[in-house]
Structure 1
Amino acid sequence: MNPLFEQFVIEARELLDAAGAALLRLEREPGDAGAINDLFRALHTLKGATGLFDMAPFTRLVHAGEDALMAVREGRAAVTPELADRLFQLLDLGVRWVDHLDAEGDLPDGADAVARERETLLRAALGGEKAVEAPSGAFSWVDELTEAERRTAGGRTVTAVMYDPHPDCFFTGDDPLDLCRKIPDLLLLRIEPVEPWPELSALDPYRCALRFRTLSAAPKDDVARVFRSVPDQVRIATMTVAGAVTAPEPVVEGLAESILREQARILALEGTAAEREARRAVVLRTVRNILTAQGREADRAALDRVAETPEALRGFVEGLADARTGGGAASVPFAVPAAAPARRALRVEAERMDRLMSLVGELVVAKSRLPYLAREAREGQSFEMLAQGLKETQGQIDAIVGELQAAVLRLRVLPLSRVFEPLPRLVRDAARRLGKSVELRLSGEETQADKDILDVLGEPLLHLVRNSLDHGIETPDARRAAGKPETAEIRVSAFQDKNGVVVEVADDGAGIDAGAVRRKAVERGLIEADRAAALTEEEAVRLVFLPGLSTSSGVSDLSGRGVGMDAVRAAVEQAGGRVEIASQRGHGTRVRLVLPLTMMITRVMMVETAGALYGFPVTLVTGMLRVRRGDIRAVKRAESIVLHDAVVPLLRLRRLLGLPEDDRAVGTEAVLVVDLGGQTVGLVVDGFRERADVVLKPMTGVLARLRGYAGTAVLGDGQLLLVLNLRELL
């Protein structure tokens, strides 16, 4: 994929995200001038980016958004819920188009019709706003047209444009001549100096010293759309020019020849073989587009035959430039590259890269000491001195590798604001659809975690917020009846603790009805009735994590399918984390997600069973204890112990893994206490080992089908550690 196009895809996504955030601010505070400016700036930049490529529907779509914002900025329209909806839909469509461009290399079929439809809907939301027409008295230059110019536009109603670019327009990305060339049905283009030309030595080439006067046969609205990015620099009027009507003369002579000569000059530039080949490819595409626009199929066929080397292409292009091309203006679109698979971009601060390179340098220096130690060993150096040297070198390398590991992890660390960004829009749209008044409060967006953790966290977080909106938050009438404020509150917060990163989703809604959860679980056969009756309120609430359980009476586009909370737990536990839930009837619900800071390095608790080592994510382990065999209660094969005045089921790891029973005569059992989604379980193992940070590698090939194994890790002494997935085992 072309690097320029890759950059467009990345920046387009960022601009659409920024536009969405600014639109949310603008909807909350319609008079927020900063929000209007931020939104307009994002759309304006995106429009300029689309202009680099042959994607007129995308440019039209963004133009429509700019039209709406200009009406708001000039006081001709208000930010109504309907207008906000239309603008959000426009941004959503832009996101889908960028995804399609990224995957397929071009816009979807029918994009132009869709863009026109969105434009129509926006105009309807604005109440049919029209462009402001400048007073015709300001266009005295029209009365001074020459006879030849009058023959071009005489006898018809035309749209006249006075465009006075800002002197610094080049620094804001504007190209005045290109804007004028985009005017539809252009009849006349007059380019004049703003003031008499100075001496050549006093001329500033970085300032625009020109003004533009044009006549067009297109309607005023179509012409005004071209200049929506520079509304303060243009005036437009509709008027009739007297004179006979004749066929319009070309307004830009020799443009194609000029472009071709410039391409030949580019091919003549010095450079490496790679640079010249890159220039050849760009020139070839440009010349091919010119010939296509002029309908010169024979020349295009000849071009493809001689374009294999820069020298041959240069001679051919020079010949084209010397030939007559008819003087017509050529449209030179930038060809959109072929489709490529979707990519994820990760931007890294330069300081972090510098620190990484510095550590690599230190590691190289430390490693260079090893050959000297090897030589001393061959020469019979004393054992004590050799051991001391090895110990010092090992300590130095160990310290550098530790810092290197931390530096690499910091390259992948991103703020949680990345996964918080979609939430305001989700709450806004869902609350409107459900007829609820909801305020979202975010905190801890600056909390950082590995980008893989953010990928895992995104979908569960959306599930939880949807559930709060659909199930937890009451309607305004119900809240008033309960003595609550009409506007509900959803709080999403994040912070770091010793176990990793913690994200909480809490609301002040109706809470979870533990009795209803019990009944649903029994009705669906997910739990026996007598066991459900014995559960405490807190234990009953945790039943919402059972697969297929939902207390919703129907299925909506938000929730109610019985897959949300189970999917949340499965995703979090697969990443080595855990989910906690607490709810109080009538006062709200709080769900806590605890995840490791990174998935590259996993901290595990190691145990020994049947002569092999097994590991469990430390985030699941809540304790280790020795239990006397006499304190274990058994009912048939079901075992349990009493821990902190609560009955805890006891499972034996040997049985779960299908290993032989332990026939050792021991008085106590080693029990690892783990928390599985709020359910405490005791796991009997042969013995405890230490904790360790390991690089976890998932099972591959036929082993990937094995249930109960999260992956493997190699320990420092070369032993293989099997890391278990308890949820699958149970």
Structure 2
Amino acid sequence: MGLQLDASPEELKLFLEEAEEHLQLLEEDLVRLENEGDNQELLQEIFRSAHTLKGSSATLGHQKMAHLTHAMENVFDKFRKQQLTVNIEIMNVLFEALDNLKILKNEIETMEESGIDLEGILQRLSAMASGEGVQAAASKKEVPQQQPVLQLDWQDQKMAAELAQQKRGQFWQVNVFFAENSDMLPVRALITLMTLREKGDIIKSEPTAEEIEQEQAKTTLRAIVLSSCGAEEISKALQELPDIINVKVEPFELAKQEEQAPQEQKAAKKIEGNKNRATLSKASRTVRIDVELLDNLMNLVGELVIDRTRLAQIITEIEAKYDVNDLTEDLNRTSVHIGRVTTMLQEEIMKARMIPVESLFNKFPRMMRDLSQKAGKEFDFIMEGQETELDRSIIEEIGDPLIHLLRNAVDHAIEPPEEREKLGKPRKGVVKLIARHEENHIVILVQDDGRGIDPNKIKESAVRKGIISDEAAKRLNDEEAINLIFASGLSTATKVSDISGRGVGMDVVRTNLEKVNGSIEIDTRVGVGTVFKIKLPLTLAIIRALMVKVDERVYAIPLTSVLETIRVEKEQIRIVNKHEAIVVRGQVLPLLYLRELYNHGSAEEEKAKIFVVVVNVGGKQVGLVVDYLIGEQEVVIKSLGRYIGDVQGIAGATILGDGRVALIMDVPSLMKKVMQIS
């Protein structure tokens, strides 16, 4: 069934953005609260988030979300007043309530009701909040026969007079009385105001909507309303609302009000103007920008980078062909200036696309808390470097790999508390998630002090599952054996777990990282722990690459994969396992000829020396044989997927300074090709 809300698309979009922020903040703070139950500053932050979410959802007309956040707010209030102590049972209920809030938020995104039943969770939250003997039974209040007349100031009078000229209707003073023990008084008051707005125009209310949102609701609400409805109709609409014990609707006369003095009017306008300027100044510091707009700007900057390179090429050609020193000098100056401005623009756009990894990391503490309880493990989860910034598109791609690695750390790396004590380790383990800069890359570490990875068990599992032969397993060193965990279907788990299995999904981890030109390395010691090191580029749009040539065709090799370039004699090439290779510093380096891979045909002339580009992915190295080395260059990646489909060994294309197209190599898929050949 469709969800009906009284809000425009813009209001819904704004609400969803704010709700996502508050829900994420609540999740982060609840995890902290479990360990810092007496942190009053933290409790105030949690209370504010819940209160804001409650008020905005009530204004939007989503009553389920308003009721649930208010019930949570009551529990937080008990924490603040130290009438309730944080414990694991209460926290589990609060986390369940938070999960329900996410479902309700999704209702607003899809505009479809989920059918979720909140009765059980609301009863448990109410029971916790009333643990100090708060009575839930309703009590009636004696309503005075005469109510004081609500006073209007000069501005209210003016607004009322203007409305009276524009619309037909009667001015009414509406007095609403709520049950004293209503545990949702602010929500009831806001709903009452919303109902009154449906019946007419509210000139003034006590308390105001802003005061109600700030928890200043009272058991009596008074309002002046201009309405074409009669007193009985207004009264009936309000009495249908919950927790209202009485309603009085009486005629209201504007003539009884006193005008505000002109001096007071000017002073009020000045104060209001100052408030508006202050609010505008504060709001103008930041703006929300659609990600698609940033993508378009990055594409345009990419075109500028291409033109900058082209301009430099043209100047070089003019200098070589013509003797026009003055002209080329002016062109050079202009070219340098355009290059500098383009570089600055490129850097600024890239900064706009960069967001702290905190936005991703902050989703993990809750997950790790739940996994700890599910697996019966005890560990401290430590995050460092959350301020490290990374391109938004890369952050979106690395979420799943990190989830796999963290789940594996809990399920198979960290030992049960009793086992750790027998091994002489602290009862509580440690799982770390660390982000930091290294040169022109971002490095993310997933580290644990658990069992470590036993290469012998990896070999046994790989042989048992038919991934490699027994003879091949015996030839593997420890590092090569450990890297087998990235083979599809490999697992060393002794029993099936619904959390994870080390090896289950690890091939997906590496595949997803390779999509964003990332790599992963493993450093492990049996009985000590494991570190997974993920290396990522700062951005995917513009990269630095080593330009090489085969025949007359130019290729770009991303520098993230390049270790070194060497030139070797043809006599140094050996045949290893029916494949050409060379020995570099005592290590066998298999060779891959780009000429053969991309069907260039045989070379016109045999050269005594060949150029080899040594690349590395996942700890494995290969030498790419090329005809010439051109040098390093910034290239703009253009996807070819929708034109020619996926081609093994090609990640995309770029436009060179002379207008030619150069293919950008996909080194990981080339490595797979070498492994298949060998």
Please tell me the TM-score bracket, short chain as reference.
0.7 to 0.9
Confirm or deny that 1:327 pairs with 2:238: no
Give the aligned partner of residue 716 of structure 1. 657
Cα distance change, pair 687–567 in 1 and its aligned pair in 2 (3 A)? same
Counterpart of 2:406, as a letter, is: V
Which residue of 503, 509, 524 corresponds with 2:465?
Answer: 524
Counterpart of 1:129, as a letter, is: G
Question: 2-side partners of 1:348 and 1:253: how far apart?
Answer: 35
Confirm or deny that 1:403 pairs with 2:362: no
Give the aligned partner of residue 273 of structure 2. none
Confirm or deny that 1:28 pairs with 2:54: no
Compute the displacement of 1:6 (Å).
0.4
Give SS of 1:326's match. Answer: helix
Question: 2-side partners of 1:719 and 1:456: how far apart?
Answer: 31
Give the aligned partner of residue 299 of structure 1. none
Cα distance change, pair 515–16 in 1 and its aligned pair in 2 (3 A)? same
Give the aligned partner of residue 70 of structure 2. 63
Give the aligned partner of residue 138 of structure 1. none
Cα distance change, pair 10–384 in 1 and its aligned pair in 2 (3 A)? same
Which residue of 139, 146, 150 corresponds with 1:159?
Answer: 139
Question: 1-side partners of 2:539 and 2:417: how far apart?
Answer: 41
1:664-683 residue pairs with structure 2 within 5 A? Answer: 664-683=605-624
Question: 2-side partners of 1:486 and 1:639: how far apart?
Answer: 52
1:455-604 residue pairs with structure 2 within 5 A? Answer: 455-560=396-501, 562-604=503-545
Give the aligned partner of residue 271 of structure 1. none
Confirm or deny that 1:707 pairs with 2:648: yes
Preserved CA contact (<8 Å) 1:583 1:589 = yes
Confirm or deny that 1:54 pairs with 2:17: no
Counterpart of 2:616, as a letter, is: D
Give SS of 1:716's match. Answer: coil
Cα distance change, pair 661–159 in 1 and its aligned pair in 2 (3 A)? farther
1:63-102 CA distances to partner (integer Å, 9 max, x unpaired)? 2211222333334432111211111122122223323422
Counterpart of 1:159, as a letter, is: S
Give the aligned partner of residue 118 of structure 1. 121
Confirm or deny that 1:14 pairs with 2:16: no
Larger deviation: 649-658 or 578-587? 649-658
Preserved CA contact (<8 Å) 1:673 1:683 = yes
Confirm or deny that 1:132 pairs with 2:126: no
Cα distance change, pair 492–215 in 1 and its aligned pair in 2 (3 A)? closer
Preserved CA contact (<8 Å) 2:411 2:500 = yes
Question: 2-side partners of 1:397 and 1:31: how far apart?
Answer: 58
Compute the displacement of 1:261 (Å).
10
1:137-152 residue pairs with structure 2 within 5 A? Answer: none
Identity %: 31
Question: 2-side partners of 1:52 and 1:198: how far apart?
Answer: 25
Please, which runs of 5 or more residues in structure 1 have no aligned partner?
Answer: 135-156, 163-186, 231-249, 263-317, 334-344, 371-381
Question: 2-side partners of 1:645 and 1:252: how far apart?
Answer: 79
Question: 2-side partners of 1:687 and 1:488: how far apart?
Answer: 52
Which residue of 607, 619, 627 corresponds with 1:686?
Answer: 627
Compute the displacement of 1:39 (Å).
1.1
Give SS of 2:86's match. Answer: coil
Cα distance change, pair 577–484 in 1 and its aligned pair in 2 (3 A)? same
Counterpart of 1:568, as a letter, is: V
Give the aligned partner of residue 427 of structure 1. 368
Give SS of 1:619's match. Answer: coil
Compute the displacement of 1:38 (Å).
1.3
Compute the displacement of 1:675 (Å).
1.1
Preserved CA contact (<8 Å) 1:510 1:586 = yes
Compute the displacement of 1:106 (Å).
4.2
Question: 2-side partners of 1:50 and 1:532: how far apart?
Answer: 60
Larger deviation: 521-530 or 570-579? 521-530
Counterpart of 1:25, as a letter, is: R
Cα distance change, pair 668–391 in 1 and its aligned pair in 2 (3 A)? closer
Preserved CA contact (<8 Å) 2:58 2:187 = no
Question: 2-side partners of 1:501 and 1:665: how far apart?
Answer: 42
Compute the displacement of 1:431 (Å).
1.0
Counterpart of 2:131, as a letter, is: E
Which residue of 83, 91, 105 corresponds with 2:111?
Answer: 105
Counterpart of 1:30, as a letter, is: G
Which residue of 355, 374, 384 corresponds with 1:414?
Answer: 355
Note the aligned Cα RMSD (angstroms).
Answer: 3.9
Compute the displacement of 1:51 (Å).
0.8
Equivalences, count: 557
Give the aligned partner of residue 45 of structure 1. 52
Larger deviation: 720-729 or 577-586? 720-729
Cα distance change, pair 599–325 in 1 and its aligned pair in 2 (3 A)? farther
Give the aligned partner of residue 200 of structure 2. 258
Preserved CA contact (<8 Å) 2:412 2:502 = no
Question: 2-side partners of 1:327 and 1:611: how far apart?
Answer: 84
Preserved CA contact (<8 Å) 2:486 2:503 = no
Cα distance change, pair 546–15 in 1 and its aligned pair in 2 (3 A)? same
Confirm or deny that 1:615 pairs with 2:618: no
1:131-210 residue pairs with structure 2 within 5 A? Answer: 132=134, 159-160=139-140, 192=148
Question: 1-side partners of 2:203 and 2:533: how far apart?
Answer: 66
Compute the displacement of 1:714 (Å).
0.8
Counterpart of 2:177, as a letter, is: T
Question: 2-side partners of 1:569 and 1:189: how far apart?
Answer: 76
Question: 2-side partners of 1:252 and 1:585: how far apart?
Answer: 64
Cα distance change, pair 43–107 in 1 and its aligned pair in 2 (3 A)? farther
Confirm or deny that 1:388 pairs with 2:329: yes
Preserved CA contact (<8 Å) 1:555 1:561 = no
Confirm or deny that 1:95 pairs with 2:107: no
Question: 1-side partners of 2:95 and 2:467: how far apart?
Answer: 42
Cα distance change, pair 189–37 in 1 and its aligned pair in 2 (3 A)? farther
Larger deviation: 579-588 or 388-397? 388-397
TM-score, normalization by structure 1: 0.69
Counterpart of 2:201, as a letter, is: I
Question: 2-side partners of 1:524 and 1:719: how far apart?
Answer: 48
Cα distance change, pair 667–15 in 1 and its aligned pair in 2 (3 A)? same
Cα distance change, pair 201–615 in 1 and its aligned pair in 2 (3 A)? closer
Which residue of 174, 185, 204 corresponds with 1:226?
Answer: 185
Cα distance change, pair 251–225 in 1 and its aligned pair in 2 (3 A)? closer
Compute the displacement of 1:561 (Å).
7.7
Question: 2-side partners of 1:447 and 1:643: how far apart?
Answer: 36
Question: 2-side partners of 1:683 and 1:347: how far apart?
Answer: 45
Compute the displacement of 1:255 (Å).
7.1
Cα distance change, pair 523–687 in 1 and its aligned pair in 2 (3 A)? farther
Preserved CA contact (<8 Å) 2:518 2:537 = yes
Counterpart of 1:327, as a letter, is: I
Question: 1-side partners of 2:529 and 2:626: how far apart?
Answer: 39
Give SS of 2:459's match. Answer: helix
1:192-240 CA distances to partner (integer Å, 9 max, x unpaired)? 58xx97997999x9xxxx9988354xxx76x22334899xxxxxxxxxx
Preserved CA contact (<8 Å) 1:603 1:691 = yes
Please, which runs of 5 or more residues in structure 2 have no aligned partner?
Answer: 1-7, 160-172, 205-225, 242-285, 312-322, 674-678
Question: 1-side partners of 2:153 and 2:644: how far apart?
Answer: 79
Give SS of 1:568's match. Answer: helix
Give the aligned partner of residue 177 of structure 1. none
Cα distance change, pair 482–399 in 1 and its aligned pair in 2 (3 A)? same
Larger deviation: 610-619 or 7-16? 610-619
Preserved CA contact (<8 Å) 1:553 1:560 = no
Cα distance change, pair 11–707 in 1 and its aligned pair in 2 (3 A)? same
Cα distance change, pair 471–451 in 1 and its aligned pair in 2 (3 A)? same
Cα distance change, pair 384–466 in 1 and its aligned pair in 2 (3 A)? same
Question: 1-side partners of 2:423 and 2:509: how far apart?
Answer: 30
Give SS of 2:507's match. Answer: helix
1:615-674 CA distances to partner (integer Å, 9 max, x unpaired)? 222111111112222222214632222222222222222333344244632222222111
Question: 1-side partners of 2:10 and 2:411: how far apart?
Answer: 44
Counterpart of 1:57, as a letter, is: K
